[in-house]
Protein backbone atom coordinates (compact mmCIF):
# COMPACT_ATOMS: atom_id res chain seq x y z
CA UNK A 1 0.00 0.00 0.00
CA UNK A 2 1.25 3.50 -0.87
CA UNK A 3 1.54 6.36 1.55
CA UNK A 4 -0.22 9.67 0.97
CA UNK A 5 3.15 11.25 0.11
CA UNK A 6 3.82 8.59 -2.55
CA UNK A 7 0.39 9.18 -4.09
CA UNK A 8 0.95 12.95 -4.11
CA UNK A 9 4.36 12.41 -5.74
CA UNK A 10 2.89 10.18 -8.44
CA UNK A 11 0.12 12.69 -9.03
CA UNK A 12 2.59 15.52 -9.49
CA UNK A 13 4.80 13.44 -11.79
CA UNK A 14 1.75 12.47 -13.84
CA UNK A 15 0.77 16.14 -14.11
CA UNK A 16 4.23 17.09 -15.34
CA UNK A 17 4.25 14.20 -17.82
CA UNK A 18 0.83 15.25 -19.10
CA UNK A 19 1.96 18.83 -19.70
CA UNK A 20 5.07 17.61 -21.54
CA UNK A 21 2.96 15.26 -23.69
CA UNK A 22 0.60 18.12 -24.55
CA UNK A 23 3.59 20.33 -25.46
CA UNK A 24 2.85 22.99 -22.85
CA UNK A 25 6.05 24.87 -22.14
CA UNK A 26 4.89 27.50 -19.62
CA UNK A 27 3.13 25.79 -16.72
CA UNK A 28 2.14 26.58 -13.15
CA UNK A 29 1.77 23.47 -10.99
CA UNK A 30 -0.12 23.52 -7.70
CA UNK A 31 -0.24 20.72 -5.17
CA UNK A 32 -1.59 20.01 -1.71
CA UNK A 33 1.63 18.16 -0.84
CA UNK A 34 3.23 20.86 1.31
CA UNK A 35 6.09 18.70 2.58
CA UNK A 36 6.96 17.62 -0.95
CA UNK A 37 6.97 21.21 -2.22
CA UNK A 38 9.05 22.42 0.72
CA UNK A 39 11.50 19.58 0.16
CA UNK A 40 11.78 20.55 -3.49
CA UNK A 41 12.30 24.25 -2.75
CA UNK A 42 14.65 23.74 0.23
CA UNK A 43 16.32 20.34 -0.34
CA UNK A 44 18.98 20.92 2.35
CA UNK A 45 16.25 21.17 4.98
CA UNK A 46 14.60 17.93 3.82
CA UNK A 47 17.36 15.34 3.18
CA UNK A 48 14.90 12.44 3.46
CA UNK A 49 13.12 13.74 0.33
CA UNK A 50 16.22 14.03 -1.88
CA UNK A 51 15.14 11.21 -4.19
CA UNK A 52 11.68 12.74 -4.71
CA UNK A 53 13.15 16.19 -5.34
CA UNK A 54 15.56 14.75 -7.90
CA UNK A 55 12.74 12.91 -9.70
CA UNK A 56 10.67 16.09 -9.90
CA UNK A 57 13.62 18.10 -11.18
CA UNK A 58 14.34 15.50 -13.87
CA UNK A 59 10.70 15.54 -14.99
CA UNK A 60 10.63 19.35 -15.04
CA UNK A 61 13.68 19.48 -17.34
CA UNK A 62 11.22 18.97 -20.20
CA UNK A 63 9.17 22.07 -19.31
CA UNK A 64 10.74 25.37 -20.43
CA UNK A 65 9.16 27.61 -17.81
CA UNK A 66 7.43 26.37 -14.67
CA UNK A 67 6.42 27.31 -11.14
CA UNK A 68 5.41 25.04 -8.28
CA UNK A 69 3.05 26.27 -5.56
CA UNK A 70 1.24 24.91 -2.53
CA UNK A 71 -2.53 24.89 -2.96
CA UNK A 72 -4.62 24.44 0.19
CA UNK A 73 -7.47 21.95 0.02
CA UNK A 74 -9.93 24.67 0.96
CA UNK A 75 -8.99 26.80 -2.05
CA UNK A 76 -9.40 23.94 -4.50
CA UNK A 77 -12.81 22.75 -3.36
CA UNK A 78 -14.34 22.11 -6.80
CA UNK A 79 -11.64 19.66 -7.84
CA UNK A 80 -12.13 17.82 -4.56
CA UNK A 81 -15.88 17.61 -5.12
CA UNK A 82 -15.36 16.18 -8.62
CA UNK A 83 -12.99 13.56 -7.22
CA UNK A 84 -15.40 12.64 -4.41
CA UNK A 85 -18.36 12.36 -6.78
CA UNK A 86 -16.38 10.10 -9.10
CA UNK A 87 -15.48 7.85 -6.17
CA UNK A 88 -18.91 7.81 -4.56
CA UNK A 89 -20.71 6.99 -7.81
CA UNK A 90 -18.19 4.23 -8.67
CA UNK A 91 -17.37 5.73 -12.04
CA UNK A 92 -14.53 4.05 -13.87
CA UNK A 93 -13.84 7.35 -15.65
CA UNK A 94 -14.63 10.89 -14.70
CA UNK A 95 -16.85 12.94 -17.00
CA UNK A 96 -13.90 15.29 -17.38
CA UNK A 97 -12.01 12.54 -19.21
CA UNK A 98 -14.91 11.92 -21.57
CA UNK A 99 -15.54 15.42 -22.89
CA UNK A 100 -15.39 19.10 -22.12
CA UNK A 101 -16.99 20.15 -18.82
Q: For the chain, what are the domain ranges?
A: 4-98
The predicted pLDDT at position 101 comes to 46
The stretches in the chain having pLDDT less than 50 are: 1, 99-101
The predicted pLDDT at position 23 comes to 94
The answer to whether the Cα torsion of 8, 25, 94, 77 is positive or negative is positive
Helix or strand holding residue 79 (H, E): helix 77-88
Q: First and final CA of the chain: distance in angstroms?
A: 32
Decide: residue 2, CB within 10 A, 0-12 exposed, 13-18 middle, 19+ buried. Answer: exposed
pTM of the model: 0.73
Amino acid sequence: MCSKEEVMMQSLLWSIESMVTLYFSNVIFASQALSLIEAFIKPNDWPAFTQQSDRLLMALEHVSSWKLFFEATSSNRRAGLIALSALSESFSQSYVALSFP
